[in-house]
Chains A and B, each alone.
Chain A
Amino acid sequence: DAKTTQPNSMESNEEEPVHLPCNHSTISGTDYIHWYRQLPSQGPEYVIHGLTSNVNNRMASLAIAEDRKSSTLILHRATLRDAAVYYCIPSGGGADGLTFGKGTHLIIQP
């Protein structure tokens, strides 16, 4: 499994954009980059995934570096409900188990 490096924690203000970085320099050519988040006292929740191109959905955007060694999860307008631990996970896909690292604890200030 590819090793990932994420900041232990980040802090942002409500209604501002948040950029969560992830380094995955050993990612294999066929691995997708998945992002999950875990709100307090809940199970992890899928956020977004991509392979090479930038991706957008209703929750977030994913910017993937051209060399695929890093990616950035973008929350365009953070709310208090976005306070969670965010995990970046290179993986072949949902049919395989996920290897979670320590993630980034995102704190949102009102």
Chain B
Amino acid sequence: DAGVIQSPRHEVTEMGQEVTLRCKPISGHNSLFWYRQTMMRGLELLIYFNNNVPIDDSGMPEDRFSAKMPNASFSTLKIQPSEPRDSAVYFCASSLFSGPQHFGDGTRLSIL
């Protein structure tokens, strides 16, 4: 079975550039989550969607971050403009109702 698919796996870009991270959840799952992991702060929830609707974005660090879920099979997390402190591993996860969350392999983002 295909799991959660994230792209790209690695992204290196310069400060000020726009970054778009992509996620394809497991087919049939109705909840989607974006997390960020750094050494300093660990794993943090950024935002999550239920049935394509954003439910809680209180974890989004600032207005430079935005997330969309235009349909049940695709979501994006955008950072514009990017800053070096945004460097982290970004994980997407999906779940079916209150079932376990299934995580992708993450996108390792480096902002120079």
Q: Tell me if B42 is interfacial: C-beta within 8 Å of chain A.
A: yes
**Which residues from chain B contact A3 at a C-beta distance below 8 Å?**
none
B68 on interface, CB distance cutoff 8 Å: no
Residues of B within 8 A of A7 (CB): none
Q: In the docked arrangement, what's the CA distance between A97 and B35, Å?
A: 9
Interface residues of B, dominant DSSP: strand
Whether A43 pairs with B42 at a CB distance below 8 angstroms is no
Contact indicator B98/A95 (Cβ below 8 Å) = yes
- In chain B, what residue has the closest Cβ to A43? B103
How many angstroms between the C-alpha atoms of A43 and B44 in the bound complex? 13
* Contact across chains for A94 and B105 when beta carbons are under 8 A apart: no
Q: Name which of B12-20, B69-77, B80-88, B89-97 contacts chain A.
A: B89-97
Interface class of chain A by DSSP: loop
Residues of B within 8 A of A100 (CB): 35, 42-44
Residue from A46, A96, A99 whose CB has the most chain B CB atoms within 10 Å: A96
| Interface hub of B43, B59, B93, B98 (most chain A Cβ within 10 A) | B43
Is B25 part of the contact surface with A, judged by Cβ < 8 Å? Answer: no
**How far apart sit A107 and B109, CA to CA, in the bound complex (Å)?**
27
Within 8 A of B (CB), among A22-44: 34, 36, 38, 42-44
Contact surface of B with A, Cβ cutoff 8 Å: 4, 31, 33, 35, 42-45, 48, 50, 56, 59, 91, 93, 95-106
Interface residues of A, Cβ cutoff 8 Å to B: 34, 36, 38, 42-46, 49, 87, 92-102
